[in-house]
Each structure stands twice: as structure tokens, then as C-alpha cells.
Amino acid sequence: MSALDGTAPVEPPQPGSVFATVIPCFRPSVAELEQACMRMKEFGLVVLVDDSGDEVNALDTLGSVAEIVVMPSNSGIGAALNAGVSRAIGLGAQVVMTLDQDSLPDSAYVAAAVALVADPGRDYPVVVPARIGPGPEAVDGGQLQARWPIQSGMVIAASAFAEVGSFDESMFIDSIDVDFVIRLRAAGRAPVALDTGYVSHRLGTVGSLRSPVGGRTLQYTWHSPTRRYYIFRNRVRLLQKHGARYLMPGVAGLAREVRSLCACLAGGPERRPSLSAAVRGLWDGLTRVEGRIPEQHLAAIDK
């Protein structure tokens, strides 16, 4: 994935002319969402997709600053993203940013990324942040590049969806962004990492434990057992779906998750449910279970 520094002269699009931000939400902090809406409204339309599955729409108070889409039930981030993107494009958006409910891009990144994707003289169908938070996502030989970008902060031309399809709803949550990027790369439309500004984003809960060898403090990312189920299941599904195209990064990604699980089992909370969720996720991936975790599996994990 190539990297740009965003210094090339580009004309930013007029506010509201081509751009929309799509934010899928699941029981969000309305205060955090309002902050994101107010910032992104400066650049164009904001579409909030309520995927909470609750009878009461908690986002009603944001109707003055955003277009609200309410999913009939909790359908997963893939379905929520697709519903939001469809609404945005239907309202005239030619460029869409997807954003998590707990993320906030700075204005410099948004302006540069949207200008690059919207510029008819360039061929950048997808731009992603090279920085998640104020530090670099990855540095390789002095060249700042993203590894596998997360969907939060992706700026996508509407034409890219026509070329590679929408987000995979069958995964429900997790790895949906990876699947989308694999399809982009297969179509010769690899995302470009932009080193201008950054996107603030929370990547799980960071835990720590003391190593028995050397006494060092090791950090790991803790996920709820349910989230860990989807992580393991969908890592397997990606390998099944994309085969050789994703073999090496897929195996490496699965190995990282096993290490994270081992750290959780050594010193984290909910050890037994976490192990049960990972094993069930692996099995359901191998047997091609899709969509929301089956209720009987959820009950077994919680025991």
C-alpha cells in the first residue's frame, strides 16, 4: 500500500457537494456522537445508522445535524455500513467516509483525503489514515505505511462499491474491513495511506501482565468473549473465502490472536468464557457459520 504526505496541491470539495460521513452506532454515547457530527457536518452530510435494535431511538436528538437510519434489529456493522452508504449515495454523495462511533478524525485528514478521492484528475478510489492516533500505524524502512487499515477513517469513492461490492454482512462484526481491502487489492484498487492528520480511535481495552521471564510488563488487547468469538470465526472465514490471496497475512493474524488469547488466559478477566468463545469461533468458522452468533452458542460461552 503506497503512502502520500498530502502536500500535493488539491482543491478541496465544496462543503456538502460530494461528501458524506457514515457512522454505524450500537448504543453509543450521544455526547461523543454529537461531537463527531458537528465536526463532520463542516464537510458534508452525516448519516448515523442506529443498529442498537432498541425500541427507543436514542439518536432522535441528533436529527438536526445528521440523517438518521434505524435498523429494524441489531444486524451487525456490515449491514449498518451498507445501509448508511446506500442512504448517502442515494442522497447524492460521490465520496463516503466510514467512521466508528468512538472515532474522531482531525480536520486536516478529512480535507486532504476527501480532496484526493474526489479529484477527477487522480485515481485514488480509497484513502485510509496512515495514523490511528497521533503515532504512526506502521513504519517500514522510513516509509510511513498502513498495514491492514481499519474501516474507521476510510474515505471511499462511490464507484469503488460498484467495482468490488458492498461490505460483507455475513461476518456481522470484525474483519469486515479486511475483507473489503482484500477485494479492493484483487481488483487493483489498493487503498492509499495518507500521512496527513490522524484519526483517534479506541482499539479494545489494553491489559497488562508481568512476564515470568525477565519480569517485564507485557501489554495485550482485551476483548469481550463475544467479540473474541467473532474475531476467531471471521479470521477462519477470511482464509476460506480468499485462499492464497490472504494465506500469509491470514495465518499471521490468527497467530496474533492466539497470543492475545494466551495473555488474557494468563492474567486477564473472564478467562474461561474467553477460551470457550475462541474455540467455538474457530469451530464455527470451519463449519461456515455466518451472521450473528447463535443463541445456543452464546449461552454456552457465558456458562
The boundaries of the domain holding residue 176 are: 3-200
CA nearest 286: which of 226, 227, 236, 243?
Answer: 236
Q: Which of 182, 200, 218 is the last residue of a domain?
A: 200
State how far the Cα of 290 lies from the Cα of 230, in Å rounded to an integer: 10
Residues 216 and 195 in one domain: no
CB neighbour list of residue 79: distance below 8 Å, 6 or more residues apart: 51, 71, 169
Q: Which residues contact 274 (CB under 8 A, 6 or more apart)?
A: 223, 225, 228, 261, 264, 265, 268
**List of residues 6+ apart from 26 with CB closer than 8 A:** 51, 52, 74, 77, 101
Of 200, 234, 251, which residue constitutes the final position of a domain? 200
Q: What confidence tens digit (pLDDT) does each residue in 10-66 have? A: 444 444 458 999 999 999 989 989 999 999 999 999 999 999 987 667 788 899 999
**Number of domains making up the chain:** 2
Question: Are the C-beta atoms of residues 170 and 241 closer than 8 Å to each other?
Answer: no
User: Do 20 and 95 fall into the same domain?
Assistant: yes
- Report, in angstroms and rounded to the nearest whole number, the Rg of the chain calculated over CA atoms: 19
Residue 98 has pLDDT above 90, yes or no: yes
97 shares a domain with 195: yes
Give the residue with greater pLDDT, 190 vs 141: 190
Structure confidence at residue 56 (pLDDT): 65
- The answer to whether residues 178 and 296 belong to one domain is no
The pLDDT of residue 199 is 87
- What is residue 231's predicted lDDT score, i.e. its pLDDT? 96
pLDDT for 68:
95
Report the pLDDT value the prediction gives residue 148, as an integer from 0 to 100: 67
Task: Please tell me whether residues 209 and 196 are part of one structural domain.
Answer: no
Separation of first and last alpha carbons in the chain: 43
| Lowest mean pLDDT, pick from 52-56, 68-72, 135-139, 194-198 | 135-139
Q: pLDDT at residue 134 above 80? A: no
Same domain flag for 172 and 105: yes
| CA atoms of 237 and 239, how far apart (whole Å) | 5
- Tell whether 30 and 174 lie within a shared domain: yes
| Cell representation of residue 67 | 440523517
Q: Are residue 92 and residue 134 in the same domain, yes or no? A: yes
pLDDT for the residue 7: 44
Residue 135 pLDDT grade (very low, low, confident, very high; cuts 50, 70, 90): very low
Answer yes or no: do 132 and 157 share one domain: yes
Cβ-based neighbours of 290, under 8 Å, separated by 6 or more? 170, 171, 172, 237
Q: How confident is the model at residue 117, as a pLDDT?
A: 92
Same domain? 162 vs 75 = yes
Phi then psi for residue 63, to 5 deg, are: -60, -20
* Dist. CA 62–CA 32, nearest whole Å: 11
Residue that finishes a domain, picked among 165, 200, 235: 200
Residues 105 and 234 in one domain: no
The predicted structure's pLDDT at residue 145 = 40
Query: What mean pLDDT value characterizes the chain?
Result: 85
Report if pTM > 0.75. yes
What is the rounded CA–CA span in Å between residue 31 and residue 8? 35
pLDDT grade for 195, boundaries at 50, 70 and 90: confident
Choice between 69 and 1, residue whose per-residue pLDDT is larger: 69
Per-residue model confidence as pLDDT tens digits over 147-189: 567 899 999 999 999 999 999 999 999 999 999 999 999 999 8
pLDDT higher than 60, residue 2: no
**Dihedral angle computed from the Cα positions of residues 248, 251, 252 and 256, in that order, rounded to the nearest 10 degrees:** 170
- Give the three-state DSSP class for 103: coil
Are residues 121 and 180 located together in one domain of the fold?
yes
Q: Are 121 and 9 in contact (CB under 8 A)?
A: no
C-alpha to C-alpha distance for 33 and 166, rounded to whole angstroms:
24
Q: What pLDDT was estimated at residue 19?
A: 94
Alpha-carbon span 142 to 130, nearest angstrom: 13
CATH number of the domain to which 181 belongs: 3.90.550.10
Average pLDDT of the residues in 232-258: 94
Residue 289 is predicted with a pLDDT of 96
Look at residue 95 and tell me whether its pLDDT is greater than 90.
yes
